[in-house]
Structure 1
Amino acid sequence: MSRPGIVKLAVCGALAFAATATGSRADAGTLWPHGARAAVVLTYDDALDSQLDHAVPELDADGFKATFFLANVKQADVPRWRAVAAEGHELGNHTIFHACAAKTVPNETRYTLEDYTTAGILREIAQQNVLLTALDGRDRHGFATPCGDSHVTDGDYLEALRRSGLVTYVRGVVTTQADLSGDASQVDLMHIPSRGWPEGTTGDQLIDFAQQAVAGGGWAVFLFHGVGGDYLQVSDAAHRQLLGWLKAHRREVWVTTLQNATDWAKAHPGPVAR
């Protein structure tokens, strides 16, 4: 995916979040395990080298499990991703070729969403599941829409994806204040929220996002690309600062994979939902 397209996507996601950040707190949040006040999910897109080199070792050092959405997997990295799964991290489906709209990736001449039908994109998702199962041995996988876009030549493919049963959930690229303060059990599994981060994001900004979830009783789903390298990167220092804060607040915040968070939330609705 081109760097300008990804930067544009992250900025749009941040603006969408800011536009809704003045919303009111929901009456009751999710009943997270062990009395935690919020859940934090760390997700990483595109199977980048910097995630293997920096993010994974830092997560493992602090005992946190995260979700990695894989696309364009390199042959040389197959053993490393298999090891990531063996450590208890979640591997998710991000398609094989990471097709985005042509306007988002203007330098790409192939594998744009304009070249796909619903049937075609579902075939690619199904094939990527084969790779994921070969890596992690699991028969359930979540999905993240490349570039946050689910529109192909014959329309939005998400409802067809829901009916297909190929994936357990779909993570998008927008978070609202309601997500940070509401009951996660009520979320549509085809529209899981997340917030992406532009380059230059500080550790304090990352921590603030998690703190808003703690205050609201909901969840904060982070969307990272590069960590100390590659594109749309957050610095290694900012990433470590966030992990340090999470480690210091283990009693308040449940850090888990996206599959674990959605499974728990659906099985433990908040008081209002009950």
Structure 2
Amino acid sequence: MRTQLLLLFFCTIAAPVMAQQDTTWHHKKCAVVLTYDDALDVDLDHAIPVLDSLGLKASFYLSGYSGSLHNRTDEWRAIAKNGHELGNHTFFHPCLGKLPGRDFVTPDYDLNNYSFGRITDEIKMANTLLKAIDGKTARTFAFPCGDTKIRDSFYLAPVMPQFVAARGTQHEMPLISQVHLENIGCYAVNNQSGDEMIAWVKQAMSTHGLLVFLFHGIGGGHPINVTMDAHSQLLHFLQQHQNEIWIAPMIEVAEYIKQVNPGK
């Protein structure tokens, strides 16, 4: 009788914990968001065919100055209609200059030389352009180069109400209760192998965290690159484990986090 009572006690205590784990990410172990920056031709030529063949949806962060966005607008509009997210990556992709590896930053687009009014106008202008392409108003943002401040002030603050969430570049894999929607971290991919990226996914599965991938070049197209084979290997692993992993665009995951944690 005593043993039965002890079992009943432990089952009663464990049930809410198990239920919380089971429902954290739509009854799955973790959430994975695939993000692609800078509106590159390789997104359309190399990433989209694999994503669509596997039925996976991703977020593409577009900067208005992109030649691909100008030359292939109809293709970008088509991927939005097919369920992929088009996110705001500003109009001219300003970054902080005078930092190691930032030789590509010109004085005209050095965030050190920006005013709050200028960055706000640029972000709003990018939103207008994206709405003209996909017809949507709900959107997420990605900080170019992961830079979030102008002179020690968070520059997205004036327009944050226009976004569901924003993605930064800090290395993290948070629990759903730990996600900061104004600056969600990610794992930036730079020549990692398929096995290395899959190991990140397995870590997220074991810790019930949110794993955001940040891609630039896919088989070329950008100095920050990953091979097409490694990219394909990761996506096939995700597709094969969809019963355990929730894979969705950033905007869907962010909206879900808000529902689960209203205070966010």
Answer yes or no: same fold by TM over 0.5: yes
Q: Secondary structure of the residue that 1:230 maps to in structure 2?
A: coil
Which of 24, 31, 47 aligns to 1:31? It is 24
Number of aligned positions between the proteins: 237
- List gaps (5 residues or longer) in structure 2: 1-17
- Indicate the residue corresponding to 1:8 in structure 2: none
Q: Is the contact made by 1:118 and 1:155 (CA closer than 8 Å) also made in structure 2?
A: no
| Structure 1 residue aligned with 2:202 | 211
Q: CA RMSD in A?
A: 2.0
Q: What does residue 164 of structure 2 align with?
A: 168
Is 1:106 the counterpart of 2:80 in the alignment? no
- Aligned pairs for 1:75-90 within 5 A: 75-90=70-85
Alignment of 1:116-265 (within 5 A): 116-153=114-151, 155-162=153-160, 165-177=161-173, 179=174, 182=175, 184-198=176-190, 200-231=191-222, 232-265=224-257
* 1:263 shift after superposition: 1.0
Secondary structure of the corresponding residue to residue 251 of structure 1: coil
Asked if 1 retains the 8 angstrom alpha-carbon contact of 2:37 and 2:214, the reply is: yes
Percent of aligned positions that are identical: 40
1:73 aligns with 2:69: no
Is contact 1:185-1:262 (8 Å) kept? no
1:49 corresponds, among 35, 41, 47, to: 41
Matched residue of 1:110: which SS? helix
**Structure 2: distance between partners of 1:126 and 1:204:** 39
Task: Output the TM-score relative to the length of structure 1.
Answer: 0.81
**187 and 154 in structure 1: CA distance in 2 versus 1, 3 angstrom threshold:** closer
Q: TM-score, normalised by structure 2?
A: 0.84
The one-letter amino acid of 2:201's match is: A
Contact persistence 2:164–2:255 (CA under 8 A): no
Q: Distance in 2 between matches of 1:215 and 1:192?
A: 20
Is the 2:62–2:86 contact (alpha carbons within 8 Å) kept by the matching residues of 1?
A: yes
Q: Distance in 1 between matches of 2:110 and 2:75?
A: 28
1:190 is paired with a residue whose SS is coil
Per-residue deviation at 1:153?
A: 4.4
Structure 1 gap ranges (5+) = 1-26
Distance in 2 between the 1:121 and 1:154 partners?
14
Is 1:50–1:226's contact at 8 Å kept on the other side of the alignment?
yes
Q: 1:175 to 1:154 in 2, by over 3 A?
A: closer
Using the TM superposition, name which of 115-124 and 125-134 deviates more. Answer: 115-124
- Runs ≥4 residues deviating over 4 A: 27-30
